[in-house]
Amino acid sequence: MRTNPAAFALALGMGFIVLLIGFLALNVGGLVSFNLASEDSTEMPIDSLGEGVVVAYKPRPLPPTSAPNGEAIVIGDALFKNNCAQCHAVNDKVVGPALAGITKRRSISWIVSWVHNSSKVVASGDEYAVKLFDDNGKQQMPAFPNLSGEQIKSILAWVEWQNSPANSAGAVAAN
């Protein structure tokens, strides 16, 4: 029986392609599992999550409660999630402004009054508050009269923890 050289070459070529595809598939499988294994979500930059993923805040692992200010940060984390995260993030504007650096922009007592009743602070004519309100389309932030000063400070401790090197926790407690 004579072999048709063209058919033979074709069969060889197809075999090669099948092998190549198998090899690529293995390789991709290997790469994917490698990525998953080495992925540390806490270290992952926000923009690598891709478009359409709403990141309310960049989570940083909480400190142990025994760390300086650790307890406040842990409490602040829960309070922030329950009361503030729908409108605020640490580094991005959501509905309200990014809260990073807020304790440098405003005093603790100003922030406490603001969170307790922002429209009262705006109505008092406070220049910063009026501008803030205007710059955010006069959208009124809900009042949180039930949050104590300590609880609000815990939220601020959490905000600072999100943005500060590990050893600077405690900045708010020192204020």
Binding piece for ligand HEC, criterion CB under 6 A, among 7-15, 32-40, 70-78, 114-122? 114-122
d(CA 149, CA 34): 47
- In the chain, % helix, strand, coil (3-state, to 5) comes to 60, 0, 40
d(CA 118, CA 14): 72
Provide, rounded to whole angstroms, the least separation between the CB of residue 26 and ligand HEC.
49
Binding positions for ligand HEC, 151-170, rule CB under 6 A:
155
Provide, rounded to whole angstroms, the least separation between the CB of residue 164 and ligand HEC.
17
Provide, rounded to whole angstroms, the least separation between the CB of residue 76 and ligand HEC.
9
In the structure encoding, which two tokens stand for residue 130, read together?
């009026």
Ramachandran angles phi, psi of 78, nearest 5°: -65, -40
Please provide the size of the chain in residues: 175
Binding piece for ligand HEC, criterion CB under 6 A, among 26-34, 42-50, 68-76, 88-96? 88-96
Contacts with ligand HEC by CB under 6 A lie at 83-84, 86-88, 95-97, 99, 102, 105-106, 111, 114-115, 118, 132-133, 136, 139-142, 144, 147, 155
